[in-house]
Amino acid sequence: MKQYRWLAYPYAVWMIIFIVVPLMLVLFFSVTAKAPDGSIVLTLENFKKFWEPMYINVLIRSVLLAVYSTVICLVLGYPLALILAGRDFKRKNILVMLAVIPMWMNFLLRTYSWMTLLEKNGTINAFFGTLERLAATYLNMELTLPRVNILYTETAVILGMVYNFLPFMILPIYSVVSKLDRSLIEAAQDLGGNNLVVFKRVIFPLSLPGVLSGITMVFMPAVTTFVISRLLGGAQFMLIGNLIERQFLFSNDWGFGSALSIIMLLLILLSMGFMSRYEKENSGGGLW
Amino acid sequence: MKRVIKVMFLLALLAMTFSLAGCGDSGKPTLKVFNWFDYIDESVYKAFEKEYGIRVIYDTFTTNEDMYAKVVSGNADYDVLFPSDYMIKRLINEDRLAKLDFDNIPNYKYIDDRFKDLDFDPNNEYSVPYMWGTLGILYNKEMVDEPVTSWDILWDSKFSKNIFMYASQRDAIGVALKRLGFSLNSRNEAELEKAKQSLIEQKPLVLAYVGDDVKDKMVAEEAALAVVYSGDAIYSIWENENLAYAVPEEGTNLWFDSMVVPKNSKHKKEAELFINWMCDPENALKNTMYIGYSTPNSAAYDMLPDEVKNDKSAYPDDEILEKCEVFDDISDVLDIYNRIWDEVMTAN
């Protein structure tokens, strides 16, 4: 295999140019500032700025919203992954496809469509209105349906996150559970375990690697998103992603923006390290 | 078969070469105009081409920043640009504009004196105003019963969660400053602090902070009130007749799109001829009727139909106009503005 080593060089170059160098730049911007005379000085000002209550609040809100949506994704996604992985289930390929198809569409378009759905005069409310009118004209009955009024609230932001990131929870769990050794489950059943015990003692522990990578894959984009909170939250709920975007595009404070990015990066590394402590050896599951 | 493809390929290549060559000089002088998208009655520049035998290459942009990027990139060689006030100031400061020879623009006399010597071009050496407008309140007549005369209505709890604010820090802070009776270009920290408090106080009433999409949202009747630029308001009112636009009596931001000539233009004479043509009352009238924005050309204004002339949302009374201000360059206190907006946006 040694003679094929050179095949890795393009990747190494690619990674240096597009990952290592930009990261270095971010790090550089975060610890430097331009002095009035134009020279560049080392400083920790940018990091100090972050410890103001208003920025800490932004971080707390981002983490909380991301945790909510990750938990909801897990609660919704885990059973679905189990169902999909069930052997005696005939049309499962179609279901897997259905879970994946939304990912083929552009993420922005999907988020914009949620706006159209949830608006005051949006598709859902218009549909309810039509039902009410139909009931009044044909059945002669007064029907009052509730109206969806959640656009530009935190609920809408969480909804958007769950909708967009749910496949990232389902797929890793599905890929781990579907590769489970059936004989283990059969052995557990032979030894007299009922369904609950089999699940608790065999299936769930073995599916943990998938669950953990699912959690990371949902949590990370959720905690850094800035599009969902702007579109569905009406820019009222500033998340850390919005704050970083703002520093680069509007405030022109690249130093602070970079410092925020570094803090975010550390946070993600920390949580990943925390997770991997629970990951067992030779788990081999997940998408990575 | 292979041969046929080869021949066809060569033919296509030839055709392409010739069509490109066709773009070259055809003897006629040319003038490259760079204007906002859909911002002219096309018959006006077509008539200019006929009148003077000058070929006009007409390009469009959608934001000042796009225009700026293209113009400074060095590849563009436009002769007439249509930037807004603050962008003109920036272009002047960076020494990118040519001083106009007003002897070549006799129609400049039709420009209303109120719109000469504006802050971004104090001695009026570089620019000739093309259109102007205001920042104001777009509202839905079905949802708002009282007359809209003041910025205060955006702080009225009756319209809780029924208000769209503009998600641009300069405009939003400007609204708060004007409401409190301060200058739009305030550099005073105490005043700015009050503006910040006022915006934080308003936040619970705001449905969302939005950008350009506010037009479509108001047309779809998603909220009762919105802060918009008069140009967007005109578009929305065309789409939905329940909407109306008001300029608050405390005064507001006055904006201008003016015609300028970049320094590197090789056809300055023709460019001035073009600007003069645009200031001709008949042509200015055609443009303002087509676009729907307010014209700074007093002769064209006199020719407008009465219902347009008396439309206070397009042509506010002088006492309101006097309280209006053009955006000034505030980059020296930008940090304070950034900070205020951060605090408003992160407030709960």
A246 at the B interface (CB within 8 A)? yes
Q: What is the DSSP string of A78-146?
A: HHHHHHHH-TT-TTHHHHHHHHHGGGGS-HHHHHHHHHHHHSTTSHHHHHHHHHHHHIIIII-------
The CA-based angle B167-A118-A141, given to 5 degrees, is 140
| Contacting A residues, span 35-94, partner chain B, CB-CB under 8 Å | 54-55, 57-58
Rg (CA), chain B: 23
- Whether the CB-CB separation of A20 and A12 falls below 8 Å is answered with no
Nearest CA in chain A to B347: A54
Domains and their CATH numbers in chain B: 15-126+255-309 (3.40.190.10), 133-253+324-346 (3.40.190.10)
In whole angstroms, give the CA distance from residue A156 to residue A159: 5
**Count of domains in chain A?**
1
In whole angstroms, give the CA distance from residue A67 to residue A60: 10
Residue A203 lies in a domain: yes
Are B209 and A235 within 8 A, CB to CB?
yes
Residue in A54, A234, A242 nearest the CB of B210: A234
Q: Which residues in chain B have their CB less than 8 angstroms from residue A234's CB? A: 206-210
Residue A99 lies in a domain: yes
pLDDT at A288 over 60: no
Any alpha helices (H) in B203-346, and if so which ranges? 214-219, 230-239, 268-279, 281-291, 298-303, 306-309, 318-323, 334-346
Q: Which residues in chain A have their CB less than 8 angstroms from residue B347's CB? A: 54
Residue A75 lies in a domain: yes
Q: What is the mean pLDDT of residues A102-130?
A: 91
Residue A140 lies in a domain: yes
Which pLDDT value is given to residue B313?
86
Are B222 and A54 within 8 A, CB to CB?
no
Residue A189 lies in a domain: yes
Residue in A151, A236, A251 nearest the CB of B209: A236
Sign of CA dihedral A240, A241, A244, A249: negative
Assign residue B192 a region (left: φ > 0; alpha: ψ between -120 and 50; beta: otherwise). alpha
Residue A62 lies in a domain: no
Q: What is the pLDDT along chain B (348 residues), one digit of tens a residue?
A: 556 666 666 566 556 555 554 444 556 889 999 999 889 999 999 999 999 999 999 999 988 888 888 888 877 889 999 999 988 998 999 899 999 999 999 999 999 998 999 889 999 999 999 999 999 999 999 999 999 999 999 999 999 999 999 988 889 999 999 999 999 999 999 999 999 999 999 999 999 999 888 999 999 999 999 999 998 898 899 899 999 999 999 999 999 999 999 999 999 999 999 999 999 999 999 999 998 899 999 999 999 999 888 888 889 988 899 999 998 878 788 889 989 999 999 987
Which of these, B74, B89, B39, lies nearest to B60 by C-alpha position?
A: B39
Q: Which residues in chain A have their CB less than 8 angstroms from residue B342's CB? A: 54, 243, 246, 251
In whole angstroms, give the CA distance from residue B89 to residue B118: 10
Nearest CA in chain B to A233: B208
Tokens of A72: 């909801």
In whole angstroms, give the CA distance from residue A276 to residue B166: 44
A32-82 pLDDT, tens digit each: 988 777 788 898 989 999 999 999 999 999 999 999 999 999 999 999 998
Strand partners, B135: B229
Interface test with A, best of B162, B342, B348 (most A CBs within 10 A): B342
Are B220 and A119 within 8 A, CB to CB?
yes
The whole-angstrom distance between B97's CA and the closest CA on chain A is 26
pLDDT band (50, 70, 90) for residue A286: very low
Report the DSSP pairing between strands B128-140 and B55-61: unpaired
In whole angstroms, give the CA distance from residue A14 to residue A32: 27
Are A121 and B220 within 8 A, CB to CB?
yes
Alpha carbons within 13 angstroms on the beta-carbon side of residue A70 total 20
pLDDT at A166 over 60: yes
Residue A222 lies in a domain: yes
The whole-angstrom distance between B3's CA and the closest CA on chain A is 38
A282 at the B interface (CB within 8 A)? no
Q: Which residues in chain B have their CB less than 8 angstroms from residue A120's CB? A: 221-223
Strand partners, B294: B132
Which pLDDT value is given to residue A287?
45
Which pLDDT value is given to residue B341?
92
Which pLDDT value is given to residue A285?
47
| Contacting A residues, span 134-163, partner chain B, CB-CB under 8 Å | 151-152
In whole angstroms, give the CA distance from residue B117 to residue B217: 37
pTM: 0.82
User: What is the identity of the amino acid at B149?
Assistant: T
Residue B48 neighbours by CB under 8 Å, 6+ apart: B54, B56, B274, B277
Q: What is the mean pLDDT of residues A225-237?
A: 91
pLDDT above 70 covers a percentage of chain A that reads 94
User: What is the identity of the amino acid at A150?
Assistant: I
Which pLDDT value is given to residue B204?
94
Which pLDDT value is given to residue A274?
80
Residue A94 lies in a domain: yes
Top-confidence residue, A2 or B203: B203
Which pLDDT value is given to residue B63?
83
Angle at which helices A53-85 and A154-178 cross, to 10°: 40
The CATH number of the domain holding residue A100 is 1.10.3720.10
Which pLDDT value is given to residue B102?
95
> What is the span of the domain harbouring residue A100?
68-237
